[in-house]
Amino acid sequence: MALYSDTVMDHFQHPRNVGKMEDADGIGEVGNAVCGDIMRMYIKVKDGIITDVSFITFGCGSAIASSSMATEMIKGMPIEKALELSNKAVAEALDGLPAHKLHCSVLAEEAVRAAVKDYYDKHDIAYDPAIFGCDLACAHEHDHTPTEE
Amino acid sequence: MYVYADNAATTSLSPRALEAMLPYFSQIYGNASSLHTPGQRAAEALQKARETVAKAVNADFKEIYFTGGGSEADNQAILSGAIAGARKGKKHIVSTAFEHHAVLHTLDKLKKQGFEVTLLDVHENGVVTPEDVAAAIREDTALVTVMMVNNEIGTVQPIADIGAVCREKGVLFHTDAVQAVGHIPVDVKALNVDMLSMAAHKFHGPKGVGALYARKGVVLANVIEGGQQERGKRGGTENIPGIVGMAAALEEATASLERDMAYVTGLREKLIEGLSRIPYSRLNGDREKRAPGTVNFCFEGIEGESLLLLLDARGIAASSGSACTSGSLDPSHVLLALGLPHEIAHGSLRLSVDRTNTEEEIDHIIRSVPEVVDYLRDMSPVWDELERGLTPHLI
């Protein structure tokens, strides 16, 4: 389908690092089922480096592809570097996303940050809360009020 | 094998319709309004097509107005009903929550012009009752418009009974029969309708052509102003190849209607039976009151767009009411109208088959869908939570 780039289709049809991780050091979940997309990211950390990462995602083709791409991008990265991963970088690595699908790349960025935050919290690692912004749970703002007909 | 199971979106042009159309592109190319021979040959073809379409729905040829498709026919019918009503001070319209957007958006436009619109509940089974309609009709009701077959879930509405209610109350009645014509019997007299919309490309005719039936005595308002084409009710040089193709396709579909209905219903039953075996799936819409070829399922824990893309990769064309496929953030208004929660509506799949599909194709679908659903559930955090009992199943 021409809706997506070949890279998106490749990552959607052959997602990298997909699956749950039993012994993860940090788990981040963002999105909500009402909106139609949820991403859960697992990270394994050693000496400040993300040594392993995996994901499971409920969502459309671009949500799955964005998760897959984000895991590839942060694998082997120092945590501080992973926190700098932007939705723009994910979308660019995918050779672009349709405008109405850009929120999927935002979700991927947020999932990585949520996993890192969880890792920090679980391991009593001090951090400046400001780096995680306001509220990860409301990563993307959708209006669920049914339209009055 | 590539299985086209999206016939409710559009159909292939039937070879017979194509053959009928071909001479009208470059050989019989006249303008039907011209007095010369090429023009008159076009006019003859137009008249013949009008008679064919009229006969297929048991109308008089003078009651058939060709349009640029089903949406235009819906727009014209509703605007006509509204204008006729407003002249008598009636500015209330009754419709349903799960109409096609050609209807709903026209009603939105009328609301901005001071009309009041009552959208009837379609109940959990996707069927409106004549009693609902009767209760909604008021002194100032100008028009009732209820679709005959819902395009997403395939439920058939009791049009003849609703029509009888409208007749009794003296209210104009329109039905969007775009998904019905050519698939189930449509007899404008038996259905008690004043106006009825149809679209050629839903029954193996060409795209960009449709028709509005308007019972003798119903005053139509123009959507397209222009010349005296279509008894002055639709300006613009007639699309003769399209109209000829529409008539040929409808004649073909009507000729084998009963046989095709039995065959397609068999395919549909096989589909329903096969897909119902998937755990936590649900068939949307009434089990019995449905068009022969349309099936709509929800699968818990997965999202429709990814399902469609993976099915496409396995050679199956289908559609979904998920938000991601609608281009908006909300899932299909039809599924929400049935009372389905958003998270379930996102995981919907519509398969629409017709006489061009085969048993082998159905086998391929009922083999592939469960595999793809399993695959997506395996990577779904929603499914994971359901499996672990952290959230309750909604299906």
- Contact by Cβ (8 Å): B171, B163: no
Tell me how close the Cα of A62 comes to any Cα of chain B, in angstroms: 8
| Residues of chain A positioned with their CB less than 8 A from the CB of B301 | 58
DSSP B374: H
Note the pLDDT tens digit of each residue in B249-281. 999 999 999 999 999 999 999 999 999 999 999
For the question of residue A104 being annotated catalytic, the response is yes
User: With a CB-CB cutoff of 8 Å, which residues 100-119 of chain A face chain B?
Assistant: 100-101
A33 pLDDT band, cuts 50/70/90, is confident
Which of B93, B344, B382 best probes binding to A when mutated, by most A CB atoms within 10 angstroms? B382
Note the pLDDT tens digit of each residue in B223-241. 999 999 999 999 999 999 9
| Residues of chain A positioned with their CB less than 8 A from the CB of B302 | 58
CB contact, 8 Å: B74 with chain A?
A: no
- Cα–Cα distance measured from residue B213 to residue B231, given in angstroms and rounded to the nearest whole number: 13
Tell me how close the Cα of B371 comes to any Cα of chain A, in angstroms: 14
DSSP code string of B304-373 = HHHHHHHHHHTTEE-B---HHHHTSSS--HHHHHTT--HHHHTTEEEEE--TT--HHHHHHHHHHHHHHH
Q: What length does chain B have?
A: 395
Q: Which amino acid is at B114?
A: G
Tell me how close the Cα of A139 comes to any Cα of chain B, in angstroms: 15
Q: Is B203 helix (H, G, I), strand (E, B) or coil?
A: helix
Closest Cβ opposite residue B382 in set A1, A13, A33: A33
CB contact, 8 Å: A13 with chain B?
A: yes
Q: Where are the domains of chain B?
A: 15-255, 257-387
The per-residue pLDDT of chain A, averaged, comes to 89
A132 pLDDT band, cuts 50/70/90, is confident
What residues contact B228, with CB distance under 8 A and at least 6 apart?
B33
CB contact under 8 A, B313 and A13: yes
Which of A8, A58, A62, A140 best probes binding to B when mutated, by most B CB atoms within 10 angstroms? A58
Per-residue model confidence (pLDDT) at position B325: 63
DSSP A147: P
pLDDT score of A129 more than 90: no
pLDDT score of B323 more than 90: no
| Residues of chain B positioned with their CB less than 8 A from the CB of A33 | 342-343, 346, 382
CA-to-CA separations, A41 to A26, A66, B378, in angstroms, rounded: 8, 12, 15
What residues contact B273, with CB distance under 8 A and at least 6 apart?
none
Task: Name the residue range of residue A62's domain.
Answer: 6-138
Note the pLDDT tens digit of each residue in A68-112. 999 999 999 999 999 999 999 999 999 999 988 999 999 999 999
A146 within some domain: no
- Cα–Cα distance measured from residue B112 to residue B125, given in angstroms and rounded to the nearest whole number: 31
User: With a CB-CB cutoff of 8 Å, which residues 18-57 of chain A face chain B?
Assistant: 18-20, 29, 33-40, 56-57
- Cα–Cα distance measured from residue B244 to residue B249, given in angstroms and rounded to the nearest whole number: 9
How many Cβ atoms sit within 10 Å of the Cβ of residue A129?
Answer: 9
Q: Find, among B294, B391, B392, B389, the residue nearest to B348 by Cα.
A: B294
CB contact under 8 A, A60 and B303: yes
A32 pLDDT band, cuts 50/70/90, is confident
A40-54, A122-136, B22-36, B302-316: least confidently modelled range:
A122-136
- Contact by Cβ (8 Å): B148, B180: yes
Q: Find, among B177, B99, B91, B96, the residue nearest to B141 by Cα.
A: B91
Q: Are strands B348-352 and B64-67 parallel, antiparallel or unpaired?
A: unpaired
B322 pLDDT band, cuts 50/70/90, is confident
CB contact, 8 Å: B299 with chain A?
A: no
Token reading at B155: 């439920």
CB contact, 8 Å: B306 with chain A?
A: yes
Enumerate the active-site residues of B.
Answer: 324
B108 pLDDT band, cuts 50/70/90, is very high
Q: Is B389 helix (H, G, I), strand (E, B) or coil?
A: coil
Interface A-B, measured as beta-carbon pairs within 8 A, has a size of 86
Same-fold call for B15-255 versus B257-387 = no
pLDDT score of A29 more than 70: yes
pLDDT score of B357 more than 70: yes
Q: Find, among B78, B85, B257, B260, the residue nearest to B171 by Cα.
A: B85
Q: Confirm whether pTM is higher than 0.90.
A: yes
The per-residue pLDDT of chain B, averaged, comes to 97
CB contact under 8 A, B380 and A57: yes
CB contact under 8 A, B381 and A12: no
| Residues of chain A positioned with their CB less than 8 A from the CB of B309 | 1, 9, 12-13, 61
Helices (H), B5-69: 15-21, 23-26, 37-56
What is the average pLDDT across B376-394?
Answer: 95
Q: What percent of chain B has pLDDT above 70?
A: 98
Backbone angles phi, psi at B236, to 5 degrees: 110, 135
A88 within some domain: yes
Report the chain B residue with the minimal C-alpha distance to residue A64.
B306
What is the average pLDDT across B126-145?
Answer: 98
CB contact, 8 Å: B395 with chain A?
A: no
ipTM for the predicted complex comes to 0.88
CB contact under 8 A, A61 and B309: yes
Closest Cβ opposite residue A20 in set B330, B382, B384: B384
- Contact by Cβ (8 Å): A8, A65: yes
Segment holding A52, helix H or strand E: strand A49-58
Q: Find, among A49, A66, A30, the residue nearest to A140 by Cα.
A: A30
Per-residue model confidence (pLDDT) at position A134: 56
CB contact under 8 A, A56 and B309: no
pLDDT score of A42 more than 50: yes
Per-residue model confidence (pLDDT) at position B146: 98
Q: Which amino acid is at A116?
A: V
Q: Is B73 helix (H, G, I), strand (E, B) or coil?
A: helix
A115 within some domain: yes
Per-residue model confidence (pLDDT) at position B327: 60
pLDDT score of B360 more than 50: yes
A38 within some domain: yes
DSSP code string of B211-264 = EEEE-TTPPPPPSS--SSTGGGTS-S---HHHHHHHHHHHHHHHHTHHHHHHHH
CB contact, 8 Å: A59 with chain B?
A: yes
CATH 3.40.718.10 assigned to domain B257-387? The reply is no
For chain B, what is the largest distance between any 2 Cα atoms, rounded to a whole number of angstroms?
A: 77
CATH number at A23 reads 3.90.1010.10
| Residues of chain B positioned with their CB less than 8 A from the CB of A35 | 323, 329, 342
Per-residue model confidence (pLDDT) at position A143: 39
- Cα–Cα distance measured from residue B387 to residue B234, given in angstroms and rounded to the nearest whole number: 58
Q: Find, among B347, A44, A136, B387, the residue nearest to A55 by Cα.
A: A44
Q: How many domains does chain A have?
A: 1
What is the average pLDDT across B306-335?
Answer: 87
What is the average pLDDT across B378-385?
Answer: 97
A1 within some domain: no
Per-residue model confidence (pLDDT) at position B326: 59
Report the chain B residue with the minimal C-alpha distance to residue A16.
B379
What is the average pLDDT across A57-62?
Answer: 95
| Residues of chain A positioned with their CB less than 8 A from the CB of B312 | 1
Residue range B15-255, CATH number: 3.40.640.10
Note the pLDDT tens digit of each residue in B157-216. 999 999 999 999 999 999 999 999 999 999 999 999 999 999 999 999 999 999 999 999
A70 within some domain: yes
